[in-house]
Every structure is written in structure tokens, then in C-alpha cells.
Structure 1
Amino acid sequence: MAKMCVAIAAVLAAAALLQTSAAQTVHVVGDGLGWLVPPGGKIAYETWADMQTFVVGDVLVFNFTTGEQDVARVTKEAFDSCNSTSPIFLDTTGPFNYTLDAAGEYYFIGTMDRHCYFGQKLAINVSASAGPTPSPQAPTPTPPRGPMTYIVGDDLGWLVPPGGPIAYEAWAYKKTFLVGDVLVFNFKNETQDVAVVTEAAYDSCNTTNTIAVYTTSPVKYNLIAAGEYFFTSTYSRHCIFGQKLAINVTASSSATPPSSTTTPTPSGSSAPSPTAGGPSAPIPESSAPARAVLGFSSTLLLIALAFVH
């Protein structure tokens, strides 16, 4: 009987280990942006973290060039003040993998020069487990508001952003654009322009046929109708290198802002589409890994019982 208990305990431990391994997720910090001083400030990593779910056992991968960047884990107080004098740990060799071994809040910064002050900082919250998906709740109506003016890219302005299109994707993320709002594009004359294009032209960076082109800064563009709007530049390769912005404009403030990962609906060739897009339905996760773990655990249990007898 004692041997049977030991065997069963060993099987359960192995099953738990397999289940943990199957659930592990690797998060590449900043995705294609990597770990550096981000364009437009700290919003890039805030936006990236907001789109992730971190669970104990997951791994963060910090991709950076050795000698140009580093990564330090620090306390919240050090994170807020960009104080790197006494980090919890410091790594100077990229790429660096960090395993999230406990639930709670984690804070990371770059310690070189003024990198942290310029936005090279990441704060995340790690859960003990993924847990059940919460039931959807009815959205709380948003109080009506007047027209707003948005400075595209804020302090970054309108240019070819370092790090590619994530700069303007991050800027637009979670903003709610309503009919009547105004976009302001700030740039240096004769070095940039603003082109309003179709979705197809935006995706292919083909600016041979544009809806409109503005060449004098600042460009103030009024959002006069609901739908999707696509902006880029006609200057050579500017669009390919990330100078492009896609937004969704809704007719009322009660609408939910679209996700930055929403697939745009087709626009017309002469004007932005009047059809407002919505977030795509999530793809359900396969239960195959869980079934595989359960099946393998049952096999181990049968082997252990046979060994006891």
C-alpha cells in the first residue's frame, strides 16, 4: 500500500510538471521593437504589456545589443524615479531571458545614460495562473464629450519612427476617435507630408494614387465621418519604415474603442469607409495540450500500479 501511494504521488507530480510546461508562454518584450529607448516614450512598452497576460512560469525575452543597452529589475520606487543605483539584478548581455517565478508586480528599466527617463521601462503584473475567462459584462456607457484635438505621435511628431510602425500603433492604442475630433500632424516642411490613402494602399505602401496629400505643417485633419482612416507619407520608403497610421472613428462616445489588432474592413477608393470596424472574435485555444497531459498521466498511473502489483 505504501508503494502504491508513493507511485501515485510521483505520477501526480509528473502530471503537474507537464501541465506547467505546457502552459508556459514566452513573451518577447516589445515584439519587433526589442528592448531600447522607444519612439514616443514609455507608452510603447505600456501598450505592449497591456496586450499580454503574464502567468507564473512565463518567460520574458529582452532583445538588445550588448554594450548599447542593459536591463535591470528594480523596485517600484526605483522604477517611478528611474533610480538604478541599487537594482535587484542587472544584466548587460543580450538577449536576456527572465523567468517569472512568482506572482506579483515586476519592474524593469534600462540603466544606461537617461534611457529610463526616455521610456525604456516596463511594469507588469504576474498572476498565479491564467484562471477561468470572466463572463462578459455589459459595457458601462461613456459620458458624452465634446470634440478633441489629438497631436499625432505627441512629442514624436510625424516622421519615420525609430523601431517601425509600433510607434504610431502604440500612440493610437486605446484612444477613442469620434466624429468631430481633429488630428494634428506636426512635421518639418519639405521633409515630410501627410497622405490620406485607402486600406489597400496603406497595406502595400503604394502612394501612386492617394485620396489627398498635405505638404504644409501643421496639418489639421477633421474627422467628419465614422469609419476607418489610413494615413502615410508619399516620401520614398517612409511608409515601409513605419510612417503610417490607421484609426477607427466612431459616431458616438458610447462606442468601444477598437483594438489595435483589429483587421480593418475594406475602404472605398474615394473616401474613408463609412463602416466602423469592430474587434475580431477571439480564436478559441485548443484543448489538445490538456488532453495530452491527462492521457500521459493516466498511462503513468497504470504503469505505476502494474509495478506495485
Structure 2
Amino acid sequence: MASSQLFIIFAILAISAPSILATNYVVGDGKGWTINFDYQAWARGKMFYVGDNLVFNYPKGVHNVFKVNGTGFQQCSAPLDSVPLTSGHDVISLATSGRKWYICGVAQHCAMGGQKLLITVFPSSFAPSPSPTWESSNPSWSAPAPSPTWGKEAKGKPSSLAPAPSPTWGYTG
């Protein structure tokens, strides 16, 4: 009974650990999402992981947030069919790994005011890593050296050192 309760506790922790350990990054820290701020310098040195959140704080009605692609980021343009975030406290969950681009679509805030952010999101550190596989032809593994054996030849004279047969290993992946 105690072991099943322990198993349930570990299962709950394993499932909830990524959300418990997710980091909320307030874009621009105390400055928030504004013009004339170096967001690339702000992002430098930060490690963003799947499950983390970006929080864009700004005065409602003054700025907005568009998620764009690399071209939209370079040209400071959002696709015509995209809808901006406009709440003034926009939380974006980083659900997938890869590069992410965000811009402000108000007036020239992106092009002239530098109000744009590029980050790289890494896979969650809680993703299971692949387990090692063993193959008999694995060059990084070799059987132990055979131990010498003494034997007698048919005529009764001692033979030279002869290796014992090597064991066979049956590792499969």
C-alpha cells in the first residue's frame, strides 16, 4: 500500500514538475514592452524553455504584440490576417522549441523604436532522454582480454600460452 502511494506521489510530481518549474519572463523587466529599449540585450544570456512564459507589460492602447516570422521581424511587419495581443498584460506560453519573433505593430514602434524581440526556445529539460542501446558490434565496447591458459600438447610437452575462448555477449537494443 505504501509503495503504491509513493508511486502516485512521484507520478504527480513528474507530471506537474514542468509547470511548477516554468519561468515567467517579464519582457524588458521593469521597463516592460516599450520603445527605445534593447530587447536583444535583455534576452542575451537567458535560457528559454518549452513551458516558460513571456509576459508583455505595457500601457493598454499604447502598444501591442504580434507574433511574426523571421521576415516579419526583419521588416517590422505583421501578416494582414494576424490579430495583435492588446491587453497590456499579455502572457505567451512557449509551447514549442525554436526561434520566436515578436514585434509591436503600432506606428513605427518596431522600425524606429526597436520594439521587437527575438528568442530561441529550447526543449523542456524534463523531456525524457533516449536510453542507451547496446550492440555487439559497438566499437566503444570490447570484451575483456582473455586470460592465458597452460595446456599440454599431445606429446606431454608444455604448450605456449594460448588464450581462452572469449565469452559471447548478447546485448541488444
TM range, normalised to the smaller chain?
0.5 to 0.7
Say if 2:64 and 2:84, in contact at 8 Å, map to a contact too: yes
Instruction: Flag the 1:50–1:89 CA change in 2: closer, same or farther, 3 A.
Output: farther
Aligned to 1:34: 32
Q: CA deviation at 1:89?
A: 4.5
- Distance (whole Å) between structure 1 residues aligned to residue 34 and residue 80 of structure 2: 21
The match for 1:79 among 73, 98, 105 is 73
- Mapped pair 1:112 → 2:112: no
- Mapped pair 1:25 → 2:23: yes
Say if 1:65 and 1:94, in contact at 8 Å, map to a contact too: yes
Moved over 2 A (4+): 10-13, 85-89
- Distance (whole Å) between structure 2 residues aligned to residue 33 and residue 130 of structure 1: 29
Structural mapping, 1:40-79, within 5 Å: 44-79=38-73
TM-score, normalisation: structure 2: 0.63
Instruction: Flag the 1:26–1:83 CA change in 2: closer, same or farther, 3 A.
Output: same
Q: CA deviation at 1:85?
A: 3.2
| CA deviation string 1:119-172 (max 9, x = no partner) | 1100100011348xxxxxxxxxxxxxxxxxxxxxxxxxxxxxxxxxxxxxxxxx
The structure that is helix-richer by fraction is 1
What one-letter code is carried by the residue in structure 2 that aligns with 1:38? N
Structural mapping, 1:153-172, within 5 Å: none
Say if 1:27 and 1:60, in contact at 8 Å, map to a contact too: yes
Q: Percent identity?
A: 34
User: Paired residues, what number?
Assistant: 122
Match of 1:91, SS?
coil
Instruction: Flag the 1:88–1:76 CA change in 2: closer, same or farther, 3 A.
Output: farther
Instruction: Flag the 1:23–1:87 CA change in 2: closer, same or farther, 3 A.
Output: farther
Unaligned runs of 5+ in 1: 132-309
Q: CA deviation at 1:105?
A: 1.1
What one-letter code is carried by the residue in structure 1 that aligns with 2:20? A
Match of 1:80, SS?
helix
Higher relative contact order (CA 8 A, sep 6+): 2
The match for 2:117 among 116, 122, 130 is 122
Structural mapping, 1:157-236, within 5 Å: none
What one-letter code is carried by the residue in structure 1 that aligns with 2:106? M
Say if 1:73 and 1:87, in contact at 8 Å, map to a contact too: no
TM-score, normalisation: structure 1: 0.36
What one-letter code is carried by the residue in structure 2 that aligns with 1:126? V
Say if 2:49 and 2:123, in contact at 8 Å, map to a contact too: yes
Say if 2:34 and 2:63, in contact at 8 Å, map to a contact too: yes
Say if 1:75 and 1:87, in contact at 8 Å, map to a contact too: no
Match of 1:38, SS?
coil
What one-letter code is carried by the residue in structure 1 that aligns with 2:116? K
Aligned to 2:93: 99
Q: CA deviation at 1:79?
A: 1.0
| CA deviation string 1:198-240 (max 9, x = no partner) | xxxxxxxxxxxxxxxxxxxxxxxxxxxxxxxxxxxxxxxxxxx
- Distance (whole Å) between structure 2 residues aligned to residue 65 and residue 75 of structure 1: 25
Say if 2:68 and 2:79, in contact at 8 Å, map to a contact too: no
